[in-house]
């Protein structure tokens, strides 16, 4: 039998003559007679299956405190094993508290009888009835309101005395052993009454009063310090805990501290924007009047569980937003400038790892791709651990001007070369607004994130390209951690890719083949030092020399072949051939076999 059906059957069985009307079970109260009350049609059970308070009962005469089915069973003397949701293996929380013989019970009764009409009117301004004050034992000592903190044993050993309308003027009275934060839970017995159900946890007794006036179960703590120190074990058997504070940044921080320790069961109340600082439920009750119940119902329905996950609505909106961006101009502009490579990969997206033999021009290849993107106003961060900033800039200027490095250094330029040089320097100055070279060998993922945030803010661009030259020279704590360090960096790249919309171009070293050469058939196993490349890379490529590296030849005759060896979305194979554009530190791209 379903939990909801079993719960309804439980109440109907023990409330003969009850009737179900609009998700509420109404009947005669089985407990009123013992208190000398007329309980006819005074018992109410909430049975909205979609609500948080399904199964909560209360007596309109307040002959007993309300609660959920297990509390009903205790009051009725029913075997708890017959109650829906009963766990026979659940251990009752036993608190090792040595309760003293002396208590404040009689004194609290005197204070309750001393409540003045003007104070009663003050509470009535917020809608709080006199019977609610009596149920909680709230009284007056001639100057201060007295909030008795009854403990689990039903006795009061300490009370919080608060000057009306000036909560900062307060003190504790009674046994000092019960002034400590572990005992500062007002109406603590409601925790046991709400086992397997929902409960409000408020900061401030007045917020509790207006909720109790609406019939909700609630406990309160006097201040934010107590809230943060609460032991989550106290609420272990509560299914849903609504957390209510005043409207302030300090309250929000304290709420998050507790919620992070208690987890998913906590649903903090969120205040609408524009409300005054320290605005509270007490003030809302005074302002809303008859509309207060509807306002609280709205806050309940719009509250969100404290969760590490985004709401389904936000998740869908993020998905649609990303989908729209991927169809936009900025996303499609993420291209390397090598048409065949861009066609094979669909542009530079995700984590792209390029392995290559030594001296095949891996750095030159990525410098060319990175600077071409920066020239098209795509922000690029180039983490260089191979060449040095000056060499990267010099090679870029050679390629842009088509003047050899030696001639640039000599400054012995023809008129045509001088013109090309001036145009190239102008291009380069504009390019550097979108191109940053980082040589910091202490870089870590957190620093990298800050770099990405900076250049994205500076360029007002939704995307960033990060080039790493090379993966095996990223900083690690010590050489012995190199393998695990590389894998850890790859995990961080995955996170940065997903969270910050970053594309990576990463140089990787290769392992030598069986013949100690770099000419074997390309496959994932040729990447050096990390088995995680095959899991982390969206595209894994290999740049192999198509010339004898032991033979002396001019740069313009050197050709390299780029292979896509693995991809999440594209077909592996021979991408293109790249011939060195000697002596201008670049490559020209050619179709395979051309």
CATH code: domain of residue 285: 3.40.1360.10
The total of other beta-carbon atoms located within 10 Å of residue 498's CB is 10
Note whether 188 and 70 are same-domain residues: no
Note whether 356 and 221 are same-domain residues: no
CATH code: domain of residue 470: 3.40.50.300
Note whether 284 and 377 are same-domain residues: no
The total domain count for the chain is 3
Note whether 68 and 136 are same-domain residues: no
Q: Locate all alpha helices (DSSP H) within 115-223, ordered by sequence.
A: 117-125, 130-136, 190-193, 205-213
pLDDT confidence of residue 301: 92
Note whether 167 and 74 are same-domain residues: no
Q: Locate all alpha helices (DSSP H) within 177-280, ordered by sequence.
A: 190-193, 205-213, 224-229, 249-262
- Using alpha carbons, list the distances in angstroms from residue 65 to 59, 115, 524: 8, 22, 68
Residue 317 lies in a domain: no
**Domain extent at residue 502:** 329-590
Residue 490 lies in a domain: yes
pLDDT confidence of residue 517: 55
In whole angstroms, how large is the CA radius of gyration of the chain?
A: 36
Residue 93 lies in a domain: no
Tokens 């201008």, residue located? 584
CATH code: domain of residue 71: 3.90.580.10
Residue 582 backbone phi and psi in degrees, to 5 = -80, 140
Residue 92 lies in a domain: no
pLDDT confidence of residue 478: 55
Which residues, including other chains, have CB under 8 Å from residue 220's CB and lie 6 or more apart?
185, 186, 187, 201, 202, 203, 204, 205, 207, 208
Residue 267 lies in a domain: yes
The residue among 262, 287, 302 that closes a domain is 302
pLDDT confidence of residue 534: 81
Compute the distance between CA of residue 138 and CA of residue 210 in angstroms, rounded to an integer.
14
User: Residue 68 in contact with residue 197, Cβ under 8 Å?
Assistant: yes
Note whether 260 and 365 are same-domain residues: no
| Structural tokens at position 170 | 């307060």
Compute the distance between CA of residue 545 and CA of residue 356 in angstroms, rounded to an integer.
8
pLDDT confidence of residue 549: 56
Note whether 68 and 194 are same-domain residues: no
Full-model pTM = 0.60
Compute the distance between CA of residue 569 and CA of residue 117 in angstroms, rounded to an integer.
76
User: Residue 158 in contact with residue 100, Cβ under 8 Å?
Assistant: no
Residue 48 lies in a domain: yes
CA atoms within 13 A on the CB side of 40: 1
Give the pLDDT of the chain (594 residues) as one tens digit per residue.
788 899 999 999 999 999 999 999 999 999 999 989 999 999 999 999 989 999 999 999 999 999 999 999 999 999 988 898 888 777 655 556 789 999 999 999 999 999 999 999 999 999 999 999 999 999 999 999 999 999 999 999 999 999 998 888 999 999 999 999 999 999 999 999 999 999 999 999 999 999 999 999 999 999 999 999 999 999 999 999 999 999 999 998 898 888 888 888 999 998 988 899 999 999 999 999 999 999 999 999 999 887 766 678 878 888 898 888 888 889 999 999 999 999 999 999 999 999 988 888 999 999 999 999 999 999 999 999 989 999 999 999 999 999 999 999 998 999 999 999 999 999 999 999 999 999 998 899 999 999 999 999 999 999 999 999 989 889 876 545 667 888 889 999 999 999 999 999 999 988 766 555 555 667 777 787 666 788 899 999 999 887 765 555 555 678 899 999 999 999 999 999 999 999 999 999 999 876
pLDDT confidence of residue 518: 56
pLDDT confidence of residue 530: 63
Note whether 278 and 337 are same-domain residues: no
The residue among 82, 101, 128 that closes a domain is 82
């Amino acid at each position: 039998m379903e939990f909801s059906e079993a719960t309804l059957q439980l109440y109907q069985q023990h409330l003969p003559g009850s009737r179900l009307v609009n998700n509420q079970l109404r009947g005669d109260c089985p407990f009123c007679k013992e208190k000398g009350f007329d309980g006819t049609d005074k018992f109410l059970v909430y049975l909205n299956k979609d609500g948080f308070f399904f199964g909560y009962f209360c007596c309109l005469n307040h002959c007993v405190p309300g609660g959920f089915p297990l509390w009903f069973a205790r009051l009725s003397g029913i075997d708890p094993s017959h109650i829906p949701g009963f766990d026979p293996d659940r251990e009752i929380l036993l608190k090792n508290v040595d309760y003293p013989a002396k208590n404040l019970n009689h004194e609290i009764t005197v204070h309750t009888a001393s409540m003045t009409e003007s104070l009663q009117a003050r509470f009535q301004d917020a809608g709080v009835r006199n019977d609610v004050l009596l149920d909680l034992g709230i009284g007056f000592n001639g100057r201060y309101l007295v909030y008795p903190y009854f403990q689990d044993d039903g006795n009061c050993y300490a009370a919080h005395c608060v000057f009306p309308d000036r909560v900062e003027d307060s003190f504790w009275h009674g046994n000092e052993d019960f002034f400590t934060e572990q005992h500062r839970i007002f109406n603590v017995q409601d925790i046991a009454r709400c086992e397997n159900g929902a409960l409000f946890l408020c900061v401030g007794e007045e917020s509790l009063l207006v909720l109790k006036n609406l019939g909700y179960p609630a406990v309160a703590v006097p201040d934010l310090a107590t809230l943060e120190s609460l032991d989550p074990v106290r609420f272990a058997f509560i299914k849903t805990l609504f957390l209510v504070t005043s409207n302030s940044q300090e309250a929000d921080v304290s709420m998050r501290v507790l919620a992070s320790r208690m987890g998913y069961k906590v649903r903090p109340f969120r205040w609408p924007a524009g409300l005054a600082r320290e605005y509270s439920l007490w003030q809302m009750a005074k302002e809303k009047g008859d509309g207060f119940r509807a306002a609280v119902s709205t806050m309940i329905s719009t509250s969100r569980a404290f969760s590490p996950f985004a709401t389904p609505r936000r998740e869908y909106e993020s998905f649609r937003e990303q989908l729209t961006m991927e169809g936009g101009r900025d996303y499609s502009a993420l291209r390397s400038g090598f048409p065949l490579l861009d066609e094979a990969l669909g542009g530079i997206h995700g984590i792209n790892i390029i392995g290559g033999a030594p001296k095949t021009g891996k750095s030159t290849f990525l410098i060319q791709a990175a600077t071409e993107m920066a020239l098209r106003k795509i922000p690029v961060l180039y983490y260089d651990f191979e060449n040095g900033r000056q060499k990267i800039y010099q090679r870029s200027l050679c390629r842009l001007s088509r003047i050899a490095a030696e001639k640039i250094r000599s400054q012995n330029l023809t008129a045509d070369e001088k013109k090309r040089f001036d145009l190239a320097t102008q291009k380069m100055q504009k390019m550097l607004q979108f191109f940053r070279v980082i040589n910091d060998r202490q870089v870590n993922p957190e620093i990298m994130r800050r770099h990405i945030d900076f250049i994205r803010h500076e360029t007002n661009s939704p995307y960033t390209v990060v080039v790493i030259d090379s993966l095996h020279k990223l900083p690690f704590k010590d050489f012995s951690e190199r393998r695990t360090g590389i894998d850890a960096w790859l995990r961080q790249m995955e996170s940065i890719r997903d969270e910050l919309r970053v594309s990576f171009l990463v140089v990787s070293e290769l392992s030598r083949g069986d013949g100690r050469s770099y000419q074997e058939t390309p496959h994932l196993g040729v990447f050096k030092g990390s088995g995680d490349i095959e899991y982390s890379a969206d595209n894994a490529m290999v740049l192999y020399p198509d010339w004898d590296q032991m033979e002396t030849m001019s740069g313009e005759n050197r050709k390299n072949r780029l292979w896509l060896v693995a991809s999440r979305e594209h077909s592996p194979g021979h991408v293109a051939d790249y011939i060195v554009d000697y002596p201008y530190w670049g490559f020209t791209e050619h179709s395979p076999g051309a």
